[in-house]
Amino acid sequence: MEKHELSKPEALNKAQVYCARAEHCAADVRRKLYEWGAPQDLFDEIVDNLYADGYLNDTRFCAAYVHDKVAYQSWGRLKIRAGLQALQLPSAAINTALEEIDEDQYKANLQSLVRQRRSDAPEKRMRFLLQRGFTYDEILAQAAFMR
């Protein structure tokens, strides 16, 4: 069965519904438009409409992304920044969102990961924490890391 090409109103409506359900960025919307079979020459126009109507907001998306990665996946700042940069979001929005990280939760996440990996050799534990996006200095600051 061949997919029919979406018209601009159909594509815009689908994108609005998609954005109304959860925070998304322009890259997510472009990917969905492609999957839905919308004409590629409409992508920029649809994304611009979504920004104008408030369905897309880079600052709001970055804040939600940072919150979720810290709260649910225990990522460090470096990995979060890399993820947002991969989505081609503005540096100002990324920096603002990273500044809003709850430091108590961030440190608790790091301590919890260190405890989970207590049986690992220190080098293996360090490598794991670096891959999670924590800086070398943040890791060494944890007194529990040395035990």
- Give tens-digit pLDDT for 95-120: 999 999 999 999 999 999 999 998 99
52 shares its domain with 69: no
Please state the separation of Cα 78 from the chain's center in Å: 12
The pTM for the full model equals: 0.90
103 shares its domain with 69: yes
Q: What is the pLDDT of residue 4?
A: 72
2 occurs within a structural domain: no
Smallest Cα–Cα separation from 114: which of 86, 79, 87, 138? Answer: 138
Smallest Cα–Cα separation from 111: which of 94, 124, 129, 93? Answer: 129
Query: Does position 147 have pLDDT exceeding 60, yes or no?
Result: no
Give how many domains the chain has, as a whole number.
2
- Give the Cα separation of 10 and 8 in Å (integer): 5
50 shares its domain with 83: no
23 shares its domain with 83: no
Which residues constitute the domain of residue 23?
8-56
40 shares its domain with 96: no
**Please, which pLDDT band fits residue 143 given cuts at 50, 70 and 90?**
low
The predicted-structure confidence for 70-85, as pLDDT tens digits, reads as follows 999 999 999 999 999 9
22 shares its domain with 43: yes
137 occurs within a structural domain: yes
49 shares its domain with 70: no
25 shares its domain with 87: no
Q: What is the mean pLDDT of the chain?
A: 93
